[in-house]
Structure 1
Amino acid sequence: MSRFLFVVPPLVGHVNPAVGMAAELAARGHDVAWAGHLELVRQLAGADATVFGCAVPAQEVRRTADLKGPAALQFLWESFLIPLADAMAPGVRAAIEEFGPDVVVADQQALAGGLVADDLGLTWVTSATTSAELTNPLASMPKVEEWLNGLLGELRERIGGGAADPRFSPHGVLAFTTRELFGAGELPHANVWLIGPSLSTRPSTSDFPWEWIDPATPTVLISLGTANLDAGARFLATAVEALSGLALQAIVVDPAGLLGKDLGDHILVRGHVPQLELLKRLDAVVCHAGHNTVCESLWYGVPLVVAPIRDDQPIVAGQVVDAGAGVRVRFGRVTPKLLAGAIEAVLDEEQGFRSAARRIGQSFQDAGGSRAAADRLEELLVHAGT
């Protein structure tokens, strides 16, 4: 059989979709290995995963939710994506040399994966865990696009790579969405494959109290993901106040311990939750519009209240609203009254949010996810004569 190397950044939301693809390929008899953060990949992919460790920037990246627009984009690229690519490049080269992959699957934010594979003349595919880049968000900002192209050109000079954009492999882009969510916009090129979310069984050490959930009462999840701990205090406090006047039960994810524990019988505060399993029992999700949380919620037909903070989240939030599957609120300015109204709206069956969420979820399941990704990757092997 063939060998596939997954190159991933040290971000949970970017590793998890790759885990589903890797598991499907392994089930078909292929050899799979990883290049990335050793501990994180093994935590998510399993202790037996073959992982070639890559360095990450020594300095922890911290930013505030106040950064918007071009300033947020500049921070993301100059303070995270470019330093990460420089740090990972030697490990990616070493992994390719030792493992000898037939195909490299490089996450869109693990730029070293695409550039190094391109430099070595390998077949490589982009894993686009968010659909935001597919919309060409810089089309109306030519100077910003020129600046970004300059950054990528300098990176190529340092770590290698051909002319291909490391965010969009000419061999193929695996995009974890469908037209029902993404919309009718033009895609970057013909080899962008809309395969729907790549979900897989996740190991969980959570001791979640399932008996706490009353199936006769509407249940809502409040979560800001794993990368927004610094920005969450005000929003979570607002959410708790909004929930206090609603006839429902709510689970609030608070990994940083920003809230107190005694918030009433109808509010459960947890540091972590088994999200995929929990989504099967939920009636609505309030979140930051992270692509993974949005897609996982819609997979189970759960409507959303989205409060985007930064990066791709405003674009994803817009897709949710345009598709009729949720309501958008302003993260930094929403009041308890407005948030309560948004939650009530998505819970109201007559307003159609749940039916739209179910329609998108069905499109996700029809698209194939991990199975479709494995099919596409195997097709590349046939075309390459491997």
Structure 2
Amino acid sequence: MSRFLFVVLPVASHLNAPLAIGQALRAAGHEVAWCGPRTDLRPLIGPDATLYPTGKRYFRLDGETGMASVRTLWEGHVLPVNRFIRDAVDRAVADHRPDVVVVDQYALVGALAAHRHGVPWATFCVGALELTPPDLPGFGDHVRAQLGRVWAMTDLPVDDAIDLRFSPYLVLGLTSTALTGATPLPARCVLTGPALGHHPDAPAFDWAAWDPSRRHVLVTVGTMAEHLARDFYRRMMAATAALADRVQVVVTASPDVLPEPPAHVLAAPRVPVLELMPRLDAVVSHGGLGTITEALAHGVPVVVAPIRHDHPTVARQVTDAGAGTEVAFASATPADLTAALTAVLDDPGYREGARRVGESFAAAGGAAAAARHLAALAARPIEHCPSGTAALA
């Protein structure tokens, strides 16, 4: 059996997939260790799992869109957190001596630490921003410049043959061609579909308030954009009020964002999403790939209100697949939102499109398939070259 070290970032949406893959690896008899923030990881991995803590650097909230949001992502989030965890990650790789390091796409110093210590690494992509890049002027040039700044955090010579976002050994894309279509993908990339597993920290839910006589809709903007959603939620409440006789809405929102939810709405800061999905009739989402793929894996059609980063790309992929429809996050009126939600609830074509995408995810294999690819990488003879090239026998 092989030894794996996961290097993760302190963002809830970035933890679900590696947790599921780690569970699949452990079920197959492999040893799994973790490197990341103790406060986020310990409730997920349990008291006995090996953990190399990095400490935690909180992200600044921002309201940018387009290329401005990409610049903020890299300069305000990715670079500072990599600088913050660099030494802890390097020590973890040196101490644990894994056969493979499994790295969040934005935990770039994990790739550098593996490279330094002559260990193959795999990248997992929880979003679509880098995997299927947007058509934004200057995107490629900006990202390349930021990657140069990450190399500069170490004493390693820059190797232009290595794109730190994509391992030269294995890249795990948590989607399928039913969404990506014919978009070119990185070398050595395999699409496994979403990695869905057990969430030990899933919150309780008020099932007594669940009305089985009505259809059910989940409305969520994820964990990083709630501060932008107050007006969007207000419009959604007005939109769903017109459907309250037949629809019950579950909203992930803190009380300060949605202080007085109407009677047809169940609001909570967190909900057990994977428990809800089989019971839902539609999802309204900002377009985070995790939420969207969780919904489509269960054949649930979606209304996508993209905000920034990869959200517009995901929205386009969803509409191209016939699995949902898109609305404008900032400007859709309650009437627009009612019409979009009614469409995905009542037009069977959207549910059929979601079902087709879900079948493609099931065929791709999910967490079990990702674990098999990682185990194969660990078992494969690899000649690691100091220049950064990787020859797989």
Which aligned pairs between 1:18-97 and structure 2 lie closer than 5 A? 18-57=18-57, 60-64=59-63, 67-97=64-94
Task: Tell me how far apart the structure 2 counterparts of residues 361 and 282 of structure 1 sit (CA, whole Å).
Answer: 14
Aligned-pair CA distance for 1:47:
3.4
Aligned-pair CA distance for 1:262:
5.0
> Which one of the candidate residues 252, 274, 277 is aligned to 1:276?
274
SS in 2 for 1:286: strand
SS in 1 for 2:124: strand
Task: Tell me how far apart the structure 1 counterparts of residues 61 and 259 of structure 2 sit (CA, whole Å).
Answer: 25
Question: Structure 2 vs 1, CA of residues 119 and 250 (structure 1 numbering), >3 Å: closer, same or farther?
Answer: same
Aligned-pair CA distance for 1:137:
2.9
List alignment gaps of at least 5 residues for structure 2: 384-393
Q: Which residue of 1 aligns with 2:140?
A: 145
Task: Tell me if structure 2 keeps the 8 A contact 1:298–1:358.
Answer: yes
**Residues 342-375 of structure 1: CA distance to partner in whole angstroms, max 9, x if unpaired?**
000001134x000010111111112111111111
> Which one of the candidate residues 126, 151, 158 is aligned to 1:156?
151
Task: Tell me if structure 2 keeps the 8 A contact 1:21–1:373.
Answer: yes
Task: Tell me how far apart the structure 1 counterparts of residues 133 and 265 of structure 2 sit (CA, whole Å).
Answer: 40
Question: Structure 2 vs 1, CA of residues 180 and 262 (structure 1 numbering), >3 Å: closer, same or farther?
Answer: closer
Q: Moved runs in structure 1, 4+ residues, more than 6 A?
A: none
Question: Structure 2 vs 1, CA of residues 262 and 15 (structure 1 numbering), >3 Å: closer, same or farther?
Answer: closer
> Which one of the candidate residues 342, 351, 358 is aligned to 2:355?
358
Task: Tell me how far apart the structure 2 counterparts of residues 70 and 262 of structure 1 sit (CA, whole Å).
Answer: 34
Task: Tell me if structure 2 keeps the 8 A contact 1:119–1:160.
Answer: no
> Which one of the candidate residues 304, 307, 311 is aligned to 1:306?
304
Does the alignment pair 1:15 with 2:10? no
Does the alignment pair 1:383 with 2:346? no
Task: Tell me how far apart the structure 1 counterparts of residues 241 and 14 of structure 2 sit (CA, whole Å).
Answer: 34
Aligned letter for 2:111? Answer: G
Q: Which residue of 1 aligns with 2:252?
A: 253
Which aligned pairs between 1:200-215 and structure 2 lie closer than 5 A? 200-204=197-201, 206-215=203-212
User: TM-score by structure 2 length?
Assistant: 0.92
Which aligned pairs between 1:275-354 and structure 2 lie closer than 5 A? 275-350=273-348, 352-354=349-351
List alignment gaps of at least 5 residues for structure 1: none
Does the alignment pair 1:243 with 2:240? yes
Query: CA RMSD for the aligned pairs?
Result: 1.8
Aligned-pair CA distance for 1:287:
0.9
Task: Tell me how far apart the structure 1 counterparts of residues 367 and 202 of structure 2 sit (CA, whole Å).
Answer: 24
Task: Tell me how far apart the structure 2 counterparts of residues 78 and 7 of structure 1 sit (CA, whole Å).
Answer: 20
Aligned-pair CA distance for 1:95:
0.5
SS in 1 for 2:283: strand
Question: Structure 2 vs 1, CA of residues 144 and 356 (structure 1 numbering), >3 Å: closer, same or farther?
Answer: closer
Aligned-pair CA distance for 1:204:
4.1
Question: Structure 2 vs 1, CA of residues 214 and 99 (structure 1 numbering), >3 Å: closer, same or farther?
Answer: same
Q: Which residue of 1 aligns with 2:389?
A: none
Question: Structure 2 vs 1, CA of residues 385 and 136 (structure 1 numbering), >3 Å: closer, same or farther?
Answer: closer
Aligned-pair CA distance for 1:256:
5.0
Higher RCO (CA-CA < 8 Å; seq separation 6+): 2
**Residues 80-114 of structure 1: CA distance to partner in whole angstroms, max 9, x if unpaired?**
10111111110101111111111000000111111
Task: Tell me if structure 1 keeps the 8 A contact 2:61–2:224.
Answer: no
Question: Structure 2 vs 1, CA of residues 127 and 205 (structure 1 numbering), >3 Å: closer, same or farther?
Answer: closer
Task: Tell me if structure 2 keeps the 8 A contact 1:177–1:364.
Answer: yes
Aligned-pair CA distance for 1:330:
0.6
Aligned-pair CA distance for 1:144:
4.2
Task: Tell me how far apart the structure 1 counterparts of residues 212 and 255 of structure 2 sit (CA, whole Å).
Answer: 28
Task: Tell me if structure 1 keeps the 8 A contact 2:303–2:326.
Answer: yes
Aligned letter for 2:126? Answer: T
Aligned letter for 1:271? Answer: P
Aligned letter for 1:184? Answer: A
